[in-house]
Chains A and B, each alone.
Chain A
Amino acid sequence: MMYLSILLTAILTANFVLSKFLGICPFLGVSKKLNTAVGMSAAVIFVMALSTAVCYPINNILIKNDLEYLQTIVCILVIAALVQLVEIILKKFMPPLYNALGIYLPLITTNCAVLGVVLLNFTEGYTYLQSLVNSVGAGLGFMLAMVLFSGVRSRLESCDIPKFLQGLPIVLIAASIVSLSFMGFTGLVEGLLGV
């Protein structure tokens, strides 16, 4: 039950993109086509889960040695190295998967959603398993937002938009409305699971 509520909260009520403003760059940049949106989100889910899996024990070691202040620097380095490593491994051993996800990997290193989820897991005080669930949930939430938004954007293409709203402004305003609709989920998790 606990894990289900963490998962649903991360996907719906505390959506990373639409309510926490993390990972806005890829959300605006790669959401134009459905297939790129799905590919990017799949890579994000993967990297988020992997980074959490590796950073969590490392952070525990840091805390044990009173080195908490190295948290940010260590986490970002671990994530960057991990992404590189995964890219190399995929390229060498799983070319089909590399072709599907690999091209998005370099972009993810400096994505604030990945470092964000790792750091938030620490401040929330989650256990190892809860952190993993939260990371996967955050990734799934990212995917949901991306997929929904790519649909909205394809509709925008054929619209007659006032001149100065064309391009980025109308995309942001559309994002505002999608985000408004996600606010409707507030209280949903509480209502469903009674937590």
Chain B
Amino acid sequence: MAEKKSLRKEFTKGLIRENPVMRLVLGTCPTLAVTTSIVNALGMGISAMIVLICSNIVISALRKIIPSKVRIPAYIVIIASFVTIVQMIVKAFVPALDQSLGVFLPLIVVNCIILGRAEAFAGKNGVIASAVDGLGMGIGFTIALCCMGAVREIIGAGTILSGAESLLSIAGITGFDGITLIGENSAISPMTIFILAPGGFFTFGILMACANRIAESKGKPKAELGCAACPMAKNCALLAKGEACEEKKEGTEV
């Protein structure tokens, strides 16, 4: 019973309490880059989740065999193979998604969420716990991306779920390709800036502020770009010199 409960905890922590994007501030690059529409965000989230679950399982299964010296390269090889497999599957079955994610699909390899979870969790915990952790973190990542995508798509393009057909057609559903809120000939036009680069930073900043507001009402510290979550923290000489991550220190001083 106790074990069941802790498994549930591993699962739910990734959703909100330790949401990888909004709370741990991991994987910011794809969060900003591919959230121009909900469908892109969803595709990216699911691809990363599959890689995360698979790599977590394999790494935790091999954790006693992999010598700690070659830990990082071994993790990278495992992660990179799963990323390539996912990439090939996406190319074969959802070519439209492959087009819109572009270089960010292979770049899942260097997404800090995945290497970060390998270092922080899968390298120390059992197979089942790691799989559940990967699932929770993956869903948390997807939710955060979809929030970003929804804000940017509705304001920036005036549509909801545009391009959904490419994802739905795998499940055999056709005919639904999103809802257009602001048509081409309507009196107002969408604020395109929201799906451009500045809009990405802006939306992320505002959502982060909201997350901090909620965190504070629950008595939790606000999210910071801390070194604790960085997979390279152990090798980082900046940390030892106290030159990076000053924010965290200053935060505690205040």
Which chain A residues have a beta carbon within 8 Å of chain B's beta carbons? 18-25, 28-30, 32-33, 36, 69-73, 76-77, 80-81, 102-104, 106-107, 109-112, 115-116, 119-120, 123, 164-173, 175-177, 179-180, 182-183
Contacts and interface: CB of A to CB of B under 8 A. Distances in A.
A72 B238 contact: no
B238 A107 contact: yes
Nearest to B34: A21
A137 B198 CA distance: 21
Given A76-B110, A110-B231, A164-B212, A24 B241 contact: no
| Residue of A32, A109, A165, A168 with highest tally of chain B CB at under 10 A | A168
Contact of A112 (B80, B107, B227): B107
B241 A103 contact: yes
Interface stretch (B25-33, B39-47, B59-67, B136-144): B25-33
A168 B237 contact: no
Contacts of A36: 238, 243-244
The size class of the interface chain B forms with chain A is 35 or more
A179 B112 contact: no
8 contacts: A29-B227, A72-B109, A81-B73, A106-B237, A110-B110, A168-B205, A172-B201, A172-B208
Contact of B200 (A21, A120, A167, A169): A21
Given A110-B110, A116-B107, 17 more contacts: A25-B230, A36-B243, A36-B244, A70-B84, A72-B106, A73-B80, A73-B84, A102-B237, A107-B236, A109-B232, A112-B110, A165-B205, A167-B251, A169-B206, A172-B201, A172-B204, A176-B200
Nearest to A182: B197
Given A21-B32, A167-B212, A180-B198, A76 B243 contact: no
A176 B205 contact: yes
A115 B238 contact: no
B72 interface: yes
B103 to A, nearest CB: 5
Contact of A32 (B210, B232, B246, B251): B246
- Which 7 residue pairs spanning A and B have beta carbons closest together? A172-B205, A176-B201, A21-B33, A103-B237, A169-B209, A73-B80, A176-B202
Given A73-B84, A120-B103, A172-B202, A29 B244 contact: yes
A32 to B, nearest CB: 6
B198 A177 contact: yes
A76 B112 CA distance: 14
Contact of A110 (B87, B112, B202, B243): B112
A69 B232 contact: no
Contacts of B244: 29-30, 36
Interface string B98-135: 00001100110111100100000000000000000000
Contacts of B9: none
Contacts of A19: 197
Contacts of B251: 167
Nearest to B79: A76
Contact of B29 (A24, A169, A179): A24
B196 A183 contact: yes
